[in-house]
Structure 1
Amino acid sequence: MKKSEIRKIYLEKRKSLSEDEVFLFSEKIFINFVNYFKPISGQKVHIFIPIKKFKEIDTQRFITYFQSRNIHVYVPKIVDEKLISVEFFSDTKFIINNWGISEPISDDDSGVLDFDYIITPLLYCDKNGNRVGYGKGFYDHFFENVTEKTKKIGVNYFDADDMIEDVWENDIPLDYLVTPTEVLSFLTGS
């Protein structure tokens, strides 16, 4: 299937989820992430703030967990059509941008490129780690600049399935996908 078709299908599937399902699936995704990756103090994690109207995975549990274990948390912000990474603290102030996304007020890019994990929003992921997002390409550009050791991790309610037909050369695949039922690795030799 093509990305445009996939985007429609998975936006609808997500829309049909109840608030209880969003909570339960988000919790299972969080547990699978922690059990698989076992993040530790001092690591650096870039994680999105969910768009509630699109029923994205609730990442608050992740953020609370990371902060309680002295794991550095960074969140995205779009500045001049580019995704930057702003360090998150318990007193970080947020605003809602034009797309309805909660972002930090600060425009200070942390400059961090050696994240341990980038937890990435998506609508769909195929069995090769190719993702379908909202079509803006912000994460692909962001992925281009991070170090090789950074694990690019998608989180999704739905399992990887049919291949995406229109993968572009600038699309950067994920290394892992975490769902409520499993963690898939797309790395060769894993």
Structure 2
Amino acid sequence: MSVHLKALRRHLRHQRRAVSKFQQKQAQQKVLQQLIRLKSFQHAKKIGVYLHAFGEINTNQIIEYCFKQHKEVYLPMICTMNQQLHWVRISLQQYRNKRFSYHPFGMQEPMAGRGAHVSTLDFLIMPLLACDIYGTRIGMGGGFYDKTLASAIHSPFRLGIAHDFQLIKQRLHRETWDQPLDALLTPSRYLSFKR
């Protein structure tokens, strides 16, 4: 990893953690308002989404909205054998009762359950540290989303959601294994990419 990329990751992690609760609430509402207008989201039945943990866009309202629209909600769980994400379907009751366990990396996961492959999802909402105007996504560094999507026979629509400052103007270096986004949604913008 280049020195520039390490510095960028460090800077964006710090900036993301500095977002206030009020700013988070506003960002979450603005992202949801745009998300519900997307045709690809409206037609999707099986939604993969993350539980926020490190200053990412808060997903509470998105998850609640999905249940309200009778969509199936799937949360990622890291499989230690192949370092890929398995997608566990959760119920509204499970979500509201916060029946989750903590992964050693610090985020919450569904309690052990039978996970589905990412190919079964229609729509995937992904966290990120940075994204450029070409759809190149930089995650937290574990490569879990990249490894998971690389093995997909059928790939769901890939939407990154982020704060406005996470959209980077300069082109990010894309490795051969990096899995680009189909679109990016920030509180003020929607960008669609050619994959």
| Preserved CA contact (<8 Å) 2:48 2:124 | yes
Question: Given the alignment of the two structures, is residue 105 of structure 1 paired with residue 111 of structure 2, yes or no?
Answer: yes
Taking the TM superposition and a 5 Å limit, the aligned residue runs for 1:10-25 are 10-25=12-27
Kindly state the Cα deviation for residue 63 of structure 1 after the two structures are TM-superposed: 0.8
Q: Indicate the structure with greater helix content.
A: 2
Q: What is the letter of the counterpart of residue 187 of structure 1? A: K
Q: 1 CA distance for matches of 2:71 and 2:43? A: 5
| Preserved CA contact (<8 Å) 2:183 2:193 | yes
| Preserved CA contact (<8 Å) 1:79 1:107 | no
**What TM-score comes out, normalization by structure 2 length?**
0.87
Q: Give the structure 2 partner of residue 75 of structure 1.
A: 75
| Preserved CA contact (<8 Å) 2:118 2:156 | no
- The counterpart of 2:86, out of the listed 84, 87, 108, is 84
Q: Secondary structure at the match of 1:27?
A: helix
Gapped runs of 5+ residues in structure 2? none
Question: Given the alignment of the two structures, is residue 29 of structure 1 paired with residue 5 of structure 2, yes or no?
Answer: no
Q: What is the letter of the counterpart of residue 65 of structure 1? A: Y
Structure 1 moving runs of 4+ over 2 Å: 36-42, 145-149
Kindly state the Cα deviation for residue 130 of structure 1 after the two structures are TM-superposed: 0.6
Deviations along 1:79-119, one digit per CA (max 9) or x if unpaired, are 21321110111233211111111111124112451322100
**What TM-score comes out, normalization by structure 1 length?**
0.89
| Preserved CA contact (<8 Å) 1:7 1:123 | yes
Deviations along 1:143-182, one digit per CA (max 9) or x if unpaired, are 12335452111000023422113x2100011110000011
Q: What is the letter of the counterpart of residue 22 of structure 1? A: Q
Tell me the matched-pair count: 185
Q: 2 CA distance for matches of 1:112 and 1:62? A: 19
| Preserved CA contact (<8 Å) 2:49 2:74 | yes
Q: What is the letter of the counterpart of residue 114 of structure 2? A: D
Q: Give the structure 1 partner of residue 60 of structure 2.
A: 60
Question: Given the alignment of the two structures, is residue 119 of structure 1 paired with residue 125 of structure 2, yes or no?
Answer: yes
Kindly state the Cα deviation for residue 70 of structure 1 after the two structures are TM-superposed: 0.9
Question: Given the alignment of the two structures, is residue 139 of structure 1 paired with residue 141 of structure 2, yes or no?
Answer: no
Gapped runs of 5+ residues in structure 1? none
Identical aligned residues as a percent: 26
Q: 1 CA distance for matches of 2:146 and 2:118? A: 16
Q: Pick which of 107-116 and 174-183 moved more.
A: 107-116
- The counterpart of 2:190, out of the listed 162, 183, 186, is 183
User: Root-mean-square deviation (CA), in Å?
Assistant: 1.9
